[in-house]
Amino acid sequence: MGNFEDSRSVVRRTRLARSASRPLVTPLEPSVVYTTESPDELDAIYEGRVPGHTYAREGHPNADVLAAKIDWLEGAEDGLLTGSGMAALSAILMGVLIEGDHVIGGNQLYGRSMRMLRQELPRMGFGVSLADPTDPQSIADAIRPETRMIVVETVSNPTLRVADIPAIAEIAAREEVLLVVDNTFTTPRAFRPFEHGADILFHSVTKLLAGHSDATLGYVAARDPELRGEIRDTATTWGFTPSPYDCWLAERGLHSFALRYDRAQENAAELAEFLDSLDGVKEVIYPGLMRHPDHARANRLFAGMFGNIVSFRVPGGREVANRLVRAAGNIAFAPTLGDVATTLSHPASSSHRGLRPAERDALGMTEGFFRISVGIEDIELLKAEFEAAIGAALSTEAPAQESSGQD
Ligand SMILES: *Cc1c(COP(=O)(O)O)cnc(C)c1O
């Protein structure tokens, strides 16, 4: 075996002793590189004749373990982990698009996805149009001969509009265009895009799947094996690699995913009703509420699973918003979603800060507009905290005119 097992050097690695027992917990394997017995053995690995890893950018055990679990949840095969949700989208775009291609994106995508479509793709010479995914006709109207893919989210942030994915899938199939679905908000617990005609799906695993705000990861799956291979190869070449540590943490998070999702959703439904009953709250948005414009579609597509995100609006400008956040001091004010604990975010100062006040107002995102990512806490605690925070925000000032502040 030569130097590899030379016990006279503390510098060289020592093999773990053979053991009749195995660790219960998936080992964390941070190794960047893998040793093999011989060039013949390495050939066998590269040619896929025997299983094995070579170099961590090309794949590693912690990513494999996590991918297999998300595959199972999504009814997908051979999914790929990436270093972030944005890396997952990048792998899809860079792996599939060729010069001259045109992409149709949903008109209310996640902020960075929107930036990818509006700034990065045109910079590289790709054509991009935006269309309304709740209105399949607007997608059909945007199709051009060179359209290669449609990118939509199941539920838009933070206005929680529900895309008509089955109708868009029909258009995509007819026009021979790929349908790419970002399933971050709904998760496979509520919606499995491949069962509704999507060709490619992706996730920000960072959010609900990992669930503890301590791992940044993405996931991609494609139905067509050839496309899958191209996306994987592109991700390896561009270096969209996930960290073993993050995969290991996310696997641990995933163990409780179904329990967390169900509890958070139950809380969200009850909190939505409660906010609706409070004096001073002007609007509550939750797909589970009967009056939500897409309630019927959400009911049909998500089988009664309306998710853990609730948005609401109180009257007033930035002062009221500041007071509400300060008065809700035990609820983290943080621009993310899907944590075990409830987090509160304010689109006007975070995800939608790039818009002019009038544009935000047109979308209903006034200074008093908030999004809650509901966690798994005791619901009575959440109700009491929100009641107190909203009361404190509105009490010292008579409900002012709706305003987006001065800037
Ligand atoms: C957060 C998020 C992303 C981006 O994921 P990262 O892991 O932050 O890169 C994409 N889409 C949606 C819907 C998200 O919420």
Contacts of 223 (CB under 8 A, 6+ apart): 76, 194, 198, 199, 200
In the block, tokens 């390495």 appear at 42
The CA radius of gyration of the chain, in Å to the nearest whole number, is: 24
- Binning pLDDT at 50, 70 and 90, where does residue 20 land? very high
| Ligand 1, atom 5, residue with closest C-alpha | 85
- Predicted TM-score of the model (pTM): 0.94
Tell me the residue type at 373: S
CB of 144 closer than 8 Å to CB of 161: no
In DSSP terms, 149 is beta-bridged to 103, 178
| Short-list 125, 91, 107, CA closest to 231 | 91
Largest CA distance in the chain: 81
> Cα(110) to centroid of ligand 1, in Å?
7
pLDDT of residue 1: 43
**pLDDT (0 to 100) of residue 406:** 40
Q: For residue 405, what pLDDT band results from cuts at 50, 70 and 90?
A: very low
Looking at the CA of residue 88, tell me the nearest atom of ligand 1. Answer: 9
Rounded to whole angstroms, the Cα distance separating 407 from 398 reads: 22
Answer whether residue 250 shows pLDDT above 60.
yes
| pLDDT bracket for residue 7 (50, 70, 90) | low
- The whole-number pLDDT of residue 354 equals 82
Give just the sign of the alpha carbon dihedral 27, 30, 36, 42: positive
Which active-site residues does the annotation give? 57, 110, 182, 207
Nearest ligand 1 atom to the CA of 184 is 13
350-390 confidence digits (pLDDT tens): 988 888 888 888 888 899 999 999 999 999 999 999 999 99
% the chain with pLDDT above 70: 95
Q: Which of 66, 81, 112 to mutate to test the pocket of ligand 1 (most atoms within 8 A of CB)?
A: 112
Q: Whose CA is nearest to atom 2 of ligand 1?
A: 204
Ligand 1 pocket test: pick from 207, 216, 308 the residue with the most ligand atoms within 8 Å of its Cβ: 207
Query: pLDDT > 90: what percent of the chain?
Result: 87
Residue 359 is predicted with a pLDDT of 85
pLDDT computed for residue 267 by the predictor: 98
Say how many Å lie between the CA of residue 85 and the centre of ligand 1.
5
Question: What mean pLDDT, rounded, does the chain reach?
Answer: 94
User: Does residue 5 register a pLDDT over 70?
Assistant: no
Does the bond joining 244 to the residue before it have cis omega, within 30 degrees of 0? no
Ligand 1 atom closest to residue 218's alpha carbon, by position in its atom list: 7
Query: What does the pLDDT look like over 52-88, one tens digit per residue?
Result: 999 999 999 999 999 999 999 999 999 999 999 999 9
Nearest CA to ligand 1 atom 6: 85
- Pairing outcome for strands 102-106 and 147-153: parallel
Cα of 204 vs centre of ligand 1, distance in Å, is 5
Task: List pLDDT tens digits, range 118-150.
Answer: 999 999 999 999 999 999 999 999 999 999 999
Span 195-237, pLDDT tens digits: 999 999 999 999 999 999 999 999 999 999 999 999 999 999 9
Minimum-distance ligand 1 atom for the alpha carbon of 336: 1
Distance of CA 212 from the midpoint of ligand 1 (Å): 15
Q: Could you give the CA distance from residue 335 to residue 352 in angstroms, rounded to a whole number?
A: 11
Cβ atoms of 101 and 151 within 8 Å: the answer is no
Indicate the top mutation candidate among 157, 204, 216 to test ligand 1's pocket, ranked by most ligand atoms within 8 A of CB: 204
Q: How far apart are CA 196 and CA 173, in angstroms?
A: 12
Looking up tokens 């619901």 gives 379
State which of 86, 201, 216 you would mutate to test the pocket of ligand 1, scoring each by most atoms of that ligand within 8 A of its C-beta.
86
Residue 407 has pLDDT above 60, yes or no: no
Q: Which residues line ligand 1 (CB under 6 A)?
A: 84-86, 110, 112-113, 153, 182, 184-185, 204, 206-207, 216, 218
CA of residue 56 to ligand 1 center, whole Å: 23
The ligand 1 atom at the shortest distance from the C-alpha of residue 157 is 13
* Secondary structure string (H, E, C) spanning the chain: CHHHHCCCCCCCCCCCCCCCCCCCCCCCCCCCECCCCCHHHHHHHHCCCCCCCCEHHHCCHHHHHHHHHHHHHHCCCCCEEECCHHHHHHHHHHHHCCCCCEEEEECCCCHHHHHHHHHHHHHCCCEEEEECCCCHHHHHHHCCCCEEEEEEECECCCCCCECCHHHHHHHHHHHCCEEEEECCCCHHHHCCHHHHCCCEEEEECCCCCCCCCCCCCEEEEECCHHHHHHHHHHHHHHCCCCCHHHHHHHHHHHHCHHHHHHHHHHHHHHHHHHHHHCCCCCEEECCCCCCCCCHHHHHHHHCCCCCCEEEEECCCCHHHHHHHHHHCCCCEECCCCCCCCCEEECHHHCCCCCCCHHHHHHCCCCCCEEEEECCCCCHHHHHHHHHHHHHHHHHCCCCCCCCCCCC
Q: Which residues fall within 8 angstroms of residue 36, CB to CB, at 6 or more apart?
A: 42, 45, 52, 54
Distance in angstroms (rounded) separating the CA atoms of residues 370 and 321: 9
Mean pLDDT, residues 42-53: 94
65 neighbors 217 (Cβ within 8 angstroms) = no
Sheet holding 283-285, edge to edge: 283-285, 309-313, 369-373, 343-345, 332-333
Report how far ligand 1's centroid is from the alpha carbon of 221 (Å). 16
* Pairs from 270-276 (Cβ < 8 Å, separation ≥ 24): 270/379, 270/383, 271/310, 271/372, 271/374, 271/379, 271/382, 271/383, 271/386, 272/310, 274/383, 274/386, 274/387, 275/310, 275/312, 275/386, 275/390
Nearest Cα residue to atom 1 of ligand 1: 204
371 C-alpha to center of ligand 1: Å?
16
**Which ligand 1 atom sits closest to the C-alpha of 185?**
13
